[in-house]
């Protein structure tokens, strides 16, 4: 595939992915990176570009959630210290990790998260915000710091924003309402993505033309997706996204073997 065709495909798919993922409080980095890799871009360029796309999606979609009072600011900032340190370190040291190891990590990451999203289709319960907000404790804060640091490392290393991990953690572990967790995760992902970008930029070159072209598509897609999210139930689409993750994992696996 020539560079122009690769760019066109990157723009089209990035718009679609930003639209879909932003509906569920996620930046889409779990699929941006493998998508760019499969289109022929290097692993480091794909991961660093993916972080920028995550930042754009999270900021544009997060603004919509913020206007609708669906972001818990205090809870979100509890995640920031750990995720910023972890993401910068992951982005900085990504250059020293063997590309094949990163690809295997992508495959594992996509398979596990794909399964998690597919299982939500059969999960009992609804997606309302009628549940009360959980009480904050010191133990909860320690757990959040440890978790956010680990997510930050993964984010910076693989170019993923971390929303696919943060949202389930907030809903199933911290017991936050689904839409509040989705909105809050956009703020958290913004800090994670920015720290990861700075880590990459401090140690390797970013592809600015690719970032600008694909970034415009993601900006529009993320904003539209966040608006649409206020009127949909996510289970069926989440299951579809899980299947997409498995398909991407299979393509990378074929490339590896």
Measured distance CA(223)–CA(97) in Å, rounded? 34
Residue 202 DSSP symbol: T
Q: What is the pLDDT along the chain (257 residues), one digit of tens a residue?
A: 677 888 899 999 888 887 877 666 565 667 888 888 888 888 889 989 989 988 887 887 778 778 888 788 888 889 999 999 999 999 999 888 887 888 888 788 778 877 877 776 666 554 444 455 566 677 888 899 999 999 899 888 888 777 777 877 887 788 777 777 878 888 898 999 999 999 999 988 889 989 999 999 988 887 787 677 655 555 666 666 677 778 778 877 876 77
Nearest to 196 by CA among 160, 169, 225, 156: 156
User: Are the C-beta atoms of residues 127 and 229 closer than 8 Å to each other?
Assistant: no
DSSP per-residue string spanning 147-195 = HHHHHHHHHHHHT--SHHHHHHIIIIIS---HHHHHHHHHHHHHHHHHH
Structure confidence at residue 246 (pLDDT): 83
- What pLDDT score does 18 carry? 79
Kindly report the three-state secondary structure assignment for every residue of 23-39. Answer: CCCCCCHHHHHHHHHHC
CA gap 117, 122 in Å, rounded: 10
Instruction: Report the pLDDT value the prediction gives residue 225, as an integer from 0 to 100.
Output: 76
- Three-class DSSP category at 131: coil
Percent helix, strand, coil in the chain, to 5, is: 80, 0, 20
pLDDT of residue 242: 74
Q: Residues 162, 155: contact at Cβ < 8 Å? A: yes
- DSSP letter for 107, please: H
Residue 228: exposure state from Cβ atoms within 10 A (0-12, 13-18, ≥19): middle
Distance CA 86, CA 195 (A): 8
Q: Which of 9, 210, 166 is nearest to 72 (CA)?
A: 166
């Amino acid at each position: 595939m020539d560079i122009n065709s690769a760019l066109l495909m990157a723009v089209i798919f990035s718009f679609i992915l930003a639209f879909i993922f932003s509906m569920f409080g996620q930046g889409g980095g779990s699929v941006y990176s493998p998508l760019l890799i499969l289109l022929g871009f290097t692993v480091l360029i794909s991961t660093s570009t993916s972080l920028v796309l995550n930042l754009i999606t999270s900021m544009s979609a997060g603004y919509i959630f913020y206007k609708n009072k669906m972001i818990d600011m205090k809870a979100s900032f509890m995640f920031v210290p750990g995720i910023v340190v972890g993401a910068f370190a992951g982005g900085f040291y990504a250059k020293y990790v063997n590309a094949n190891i990163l690809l295997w990590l992508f495959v594992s990451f996509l398979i596990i998260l794909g399964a998690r999203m597919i299982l939500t289709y059969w999960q009992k319960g609804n997606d309302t915000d009628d549940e009360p907000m959980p009480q904050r404790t010191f133990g909860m804060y320690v757990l959040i710091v440890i978790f956010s640091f680990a997510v930050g490392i993964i984010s910076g290393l693989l170019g993923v924003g971390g929303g696919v991990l943060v949202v389930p953690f907030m809903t199933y572990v911290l017991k936050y309402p689904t839409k509040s967790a989705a909105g809050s995760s956009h703020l958290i992902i913004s800090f994670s993505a920015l720290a990861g970008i700075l880590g990459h930029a401090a140690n390797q070159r970013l592809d600015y033309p690719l970032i600008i072209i694909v970034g415009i598509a993601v900006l529009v897609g993320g904003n539209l997706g966040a608006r649409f999210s206020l009127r949909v139930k996510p289970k069926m689409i989440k299951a579809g996204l899980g299947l997409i993750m498995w398909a991407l994992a299979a393509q990378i696996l074929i490339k590896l073997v």
